[in-house]
C-alpha cells in the first residue's frame, strides 16, 4: 500500500503549522524553513513570470538592510528577531503555491484556526502557572500578564490576537462569494467571539481598547443617522470618564516619561546613528553605543518610533513608509497598519510575526482574490 502526498497538501499543512511560529520549540526550525524557501520563491516568480509588487521589494530591502546594520555593530542572541520578517516572505510563498490548488479562504482559515489553538494553549498554560503553582500570589492583574509559558508579557499576545481578530473581521466584511459564506458562517462568527474573549483575557489594555473601538465602529456603520449621533455623543462623554481613570494609571503616565526619554535619546544620537540606526541589539548595547545610562530610561522599547529609530534610523523609517504606501491600495492592509501604529503608542513588537503574516494575507487577498481569472497574472 502506497500513500501519496500532494505538494498542495504539504503547503496547506505548513500554513497551518506556521501559526505556531513563536513556540520556543519550533521557532528556530521555522526560521530555517523560511530562509530555505526564499530561493524557491524567487524561482517560482521567474518560472511563472509573476509580477512583483513594489511594496514587497521594500520588505525584502528592509530585512537585508537591518541584517547588515546589525552585523556591523555585532550580532547578539536577541538579534535573531529580525528573521521574523522572513515569515512574511515564506507565508507569501506558501500562499502563492497554495492558492493555485485551494481558495484564499481555505489558506486563511487554516492559519486562523491554527493560531486559535496556539493562543488557547498560551491562555491555559498562563492560568495554570498562576492558579496551580503555590509560589505565585495573585496580588494584581499584572500577575496574570507575566506568568505565561510562551511569552514573558501578554502585551505580545494581545497585539498578535488583535491583528488576527481585526483582519478576520475585515476579510469577512469585504469578501464575496464562497469566501464571504465561509467567513460569515455561524461557527466562524462564534470563533471570532472566542477570539475577542482571548483579547480580554490578555489584560493588555491597549489591545482591549482598540478591539472595543473597532467593534463600536462596525456597530455605528450599521445603525441609522439618529442612532449614530446619539452613540457618538455618548462616546464623547465616555472619553472624559476613561481619561479620568487612565490619568491615575502609572503605566499610562509612564508613556510621558518615555516620550521625554525619546527626545533625549535623539539628542544624544550622532548623525550616523540617527541616519542608519545601530541594528537589532539589546537595549543595554544600544545605550552603550549612544552613550546613555540605561538605568535612567525605563520601558525604552515600548514606543514604536523609539524602536524604529534605534534599530534602523531614518533610512528604516523611510523604508517602512514606502511599505505602507505600496500596501495602502488594500483596505485591509491599510487597516492593519493603522492598528499597528496605534498599538505602537503603547507597546509593539517591531518584528511581530503576526503583523508580517497578516500583511502577506492582505497582499494576496487584494491582488488575487478579486482577479483570479488567471492566477499567474496575480501580483504579489
Domain count, the chain: 1
Q: Could you read off the pLDDT tens digit of each residue along the chain, which spans 380 residues?
A: 444 445 667 778 878 888 888 777 666 666 566 666 666 666 666 666 555 667 777 888 888 888 888 888 877 766 667 777 778 877 877 787 777 677 788 889 899 999 999 999 888 888 877 777 655 555 566 677 776 777 777 888 888 899 999 999 988 887 777 777 888 888 899 999 999 999 998 888 888 888 988 888 887 777 666 666 666 676 666 666 666 655 556 565 666 667 777 777 788 888 888 888 888 887 778 877 877 776 666 555 667 778 888 888 888 888 888 888 877 777 888 888 888 888 877 777 777 888 888 888 888 887 665 444 443 444 45
Tell me if 225 is assigned to some domain: yes
Structural domain for 84, as ranges: 7-377
Q: How far is CA 250 from the centre of its chain?
A: 26
Tell me if 94 is assigned to some domain: yes
Tell me if 2 is assigned to some domain: no
Tell me if 325 is assigned to some domain: yes
Tell me if 1 is assigned to some domain: no
Tell me if 293 is assigned to some domain: yes
Tell me if 26 is assigned to some domain: yes
For the whole model, what pTM was predicted? 0.82
Tell me if 352 is assigned to some domain: yes
Amino acid at each position: 500500500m502506497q500513500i501519496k502526498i500532494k505538494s498542495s497538501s504539504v503547503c496547506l499543512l505548513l500554513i497551518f503549522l506556521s501559526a505556531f511560529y513563536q513556540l520556543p520549540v519550533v521557532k528556530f526550525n521555522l526560521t530555517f524553513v523560511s530562509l530555505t524557501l526564499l530561493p524557491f520563491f524567487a524561482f517560482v516568480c521567474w518560472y511563472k513570470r509573476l509580477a512583483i509588487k513594489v511594496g514587497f521589494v521594500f520588505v525584502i530591502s528592509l530585512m537585508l538592510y537591518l541584517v547588515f546594520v546589525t552585523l556591523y555593530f555585532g550580532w547578539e542572541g536577541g538579534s535573531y528577531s529580525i528573521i521574523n520578517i522572513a515569515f512574511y516572505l515564506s507565508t507569501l510563498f506558501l500562499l502563492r503555491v497554495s492558492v493555485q490548488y485551494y481558495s484564499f479562504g481555505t489558506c486563511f482559515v487554516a492559519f486562523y484556526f491554527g493560531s486559535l489553538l496556539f493562543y488557547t494553549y498560551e491562555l491555559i498554560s498562563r492560568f495554570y502557572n498562576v492558579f496551580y503553582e503555590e509560589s505565585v500570589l495573585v496580588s494584581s492583574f499584572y500577575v496574570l500578564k507575566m506568568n505565561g509559558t510562551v511569552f514573558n508579557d501578554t502585551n505580545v499576545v494581545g497585539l498578535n490576537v488583535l491583528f488576527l481578530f481585526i483582519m478576520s473581521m475585515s476579510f469577512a466584511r469585504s469578501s464575496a462569494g464562497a469566501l464571504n459564506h465561509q467567513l460569515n458562517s455561524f461557527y466562524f462568527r462564534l470563533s471570532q467571539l472566542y477570539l475577542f474573549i482571548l483579547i480580554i483575557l490578555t489584560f493588555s489594555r491597549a489591545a482591549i481598547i482598540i478591539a472595543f473601538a473597532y467593534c463600536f465602529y462596525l456597530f455605528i456603520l450599521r445603525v441609522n443617522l439618529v442612532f449614530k449621533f446619539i452613540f457618538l455623543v455618548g462616546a464623547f462623554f465616555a472619553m472624559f470618564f476613561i481619561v479620568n481613570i487612565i490619568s491615575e494609571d502609572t503605566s499610562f503616565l509612564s508613556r510621558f516619561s518615555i516620550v521625554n526619554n525619546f527626545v533625549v535619546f535623539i539628542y544624544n544620537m550622532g548623525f550616523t546613528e540617527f541616519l542608519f540606526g545601530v541594528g537589532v541589539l539589546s537595549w543595554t548595547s544600544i545605550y552603550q553605543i549612544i552613550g546613555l545610562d540605561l538605568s535612567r530610561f525605563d520601558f525604552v522599547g515600548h514606543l514604536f518610533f523609539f524602536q524604529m529609530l534605534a534599530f534602523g534610523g531614518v533610512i528604516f523609517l523611510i523604508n517602512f513608509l514606502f511599505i505602507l504606501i505600496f500596501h495602502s491600495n488594500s483596505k485591509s492592509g491599510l487597516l492593519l497598519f493603522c492598528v499597528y501604529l496605534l498599538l505602537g503608542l503603547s507597546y509593539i513588537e517591531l518584528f511581530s510575526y503576526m503583523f508580517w503574516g497578516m500583511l502577506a494575507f492582505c497582499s494576496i487577498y487584494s491582488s488575487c482574490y478579486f482577479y483570479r481569472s488567471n492566477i499567474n497574472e496575480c501580483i504579489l
